[in-house]
Structure 1
């Protein structure tokens, strides 16, 4: 998915009853979503929770768009022309609908509900994302993972994986990255990560054993969730820092709730993220933009899309500064 936004919004904080100290219920920071149009005459709107001004990353997760359920007859669905990426992996996850993916490696695949598509941009790749004619309701998430310095020029890659559902006491999990609830994904990442879809039965509480070295984010798709003692509303993302041995989620609604659980070891590097590029300096971005605009071999060519590729936006009239997360105390 292409990023048309340059000015992320603020974060609001919420704390549990004991403020997360002394080994009790962890402190929860609630990141609110902002609406971002993807462009076009009937612009599809997504809800963006990462990045924020106060939180750039959760683990290596650096970008989270949540969209739908959209009636494509009204919204026009998704039609993202050829566009580039550097220094990241894209993670596509659907709840309903179908998206056709083509990239400059020659990959031609479909994103379907419950199936992971992960693309590694590394030094440079380009791709398209188009909802298929048989899609009536489009609903899902597009996520990005920042690559660490030693791997940010990795070779292009594309992986597809269909996780089996795992029954929990009070719900169900599909683990598409990392390890949770006794199941592990075989998909390769460049830093320790967790990605899972969780379903919670009506009024159920589930407690998950998690890696104490990870920070976690819980993105609410459907239902009303309490993370520890903190309510997290639909389209919000609840953040919990490292140190927790368990995460407790309660579905306070009478319907099945659905969330995405994201996690990873804190990403200690500062990054520069502008448009669809991730680098470490302003000059990295300038160079990537220039190479995209002159159709450099760095990004290759996407075959099969009936239209022009996306032009890069104009660079800001200022040096783009590296950003990391707030210092942890």
Structure 2
């Protein structure tokens, strides 16, 4: 998905320091802001990362949550070929279907419960279009920052269908990393975790997690408490490293669904503008110029019935690196 807002107004954050009764870690609740993705029938997404006070959770640097949208009313998703650098895109759906084409030559579909992971490295371009079979579109688009040593790596594309794993009180699908005894075969450039968790009505699940990871819990549906703290639908609960277990509770009479994202603190500052991640203003300027000139760096997407997206104008001031605060 293309970031249609290269200079967003960042939402304030809210911290709820009361952990659970067993002394669980405090949870910082990161509210969502609505971002329209262009056009008169714009599909609106709820963006929880980056925030003013938090740019990354591990290497996860971008979280867009959308739907459920009636595509007859919204027009669905139709994102023309656009570029990326220095990152990976992870696409995960709850309903609907998206057709993916990229300049590596990949032609694939994103379907519920299936991971599409695209590595941009030095440069890639791709398009994303919801299919005619889609009536309701609902899912998330995630970006992962590549570390300095790997950010100029070659293009790559992986498709993985994780099996559901039963838990007392729910089930989990692990699409990246390791959780609940299940390990995704998809390689990552930094230690990461990505999983969809469904919690039964009025139930809770307690998971063993890596104490070296920070974690984020994106609530898709249900009345969810993360380590004792309520996290509203569409918002993101953040937890510092240190905990060895994490309890997620559903207080509703219907199943709850959430994404658990985690990773070792990234430890590098990044410059993120439009669809590019670099380390300096000059990195972004060079990437934009090469996209606009049609340079071979980004390749060509074949099969999309239309023109590619032009890059927006750069801001008049220099882009500054983003880092994260120290653990709270």
Q: TM-score if structure 2 supplies the norm length?
A: 0.98
Partner Cα separation in structure 1 for residue 304 and residue 260 of structure 2: 33
Partner Cα separation in structure 2 for residue 281 and residue 150 of structure 1: 15
Counterpart of 2:17 in structure 1 is: 15
How far did 1:292 drift?
0.3
Q: Secondary structure in 2 aligned to 1:298?
A: helix
Partner Cα separation in structure 2 for residue 193 and residue 167 of structure 1: 21
Q: Does 1:237 pair with 2:236?
A: yes
Partner Cα separation in structure 2 for residue 233 and residue 255 of structure 1: 15
How far did 1:142 drift?
0.3
Counterpart of 1:127 in structure 2 is: 126
Counterpart of 1:188 in structure 2 is: 187
Partner Cα separation in structure 2 for residue 250 and residue 17 of structure 1: 13
Counterpart of 2:136 in structure 1 is: 137
Q: Secondary structure in 2 aligned to 1:211?
A: coil
User: Is this contact kept in 1: 2:19–2:25, CA < 8 A?
Assistant: no
User: Is this contact kept in 1: 2:116–2:157, CA < 8 A?
Assistant: yes
User: Is this contact kept in 1: 2:91–2:116, CA < 8 A?
Assistant: yes
How far did 1:10 drift?
1.6
Counterpart of 1:268 in structure 2 is: 267
Partner Cα separation in structure 1 for residue 324 and residue 266 of structure 2: 8
How far did 1:298 drift?
0.2
Counterpart of 2:116 in structure 1 is: 117
How far did 1:11 drift?
1.1
Partner Cα separation in structure 1 for residue 271 and residue 141 of structure 2: 19
Partner Cα separation in structure 1 for residue 227 and residue 100 of structure 2: 38
Q: 1:275-325 CA distances to partner (integer Å, 9 max, x unpaired)?
A: 000000000000000000001000000000111110001000000000110
Q: Does 1:246 pair with 2:248?
A: no
How far did 1:328 drift?
2.4
RMSD: 1.1
Counterpart of 1:223 in structure 2 is: 222
Partner Cα separation in structure 2 for residue 75 and residue 15 of structure 1: 38
Partner Cα separation in structure 2 for residue 286 and residue 183 of structure 1: 41
Q: TM-score if structure 1 supplies the norm length?
A: 0.98
Aligned residue pairs: how many? 326
Aligned ranges 1:1-329 → 2 under 5 Å: 1-5=1-5, 6-7=7-8, 8-17=10-19, 24-328=23-327
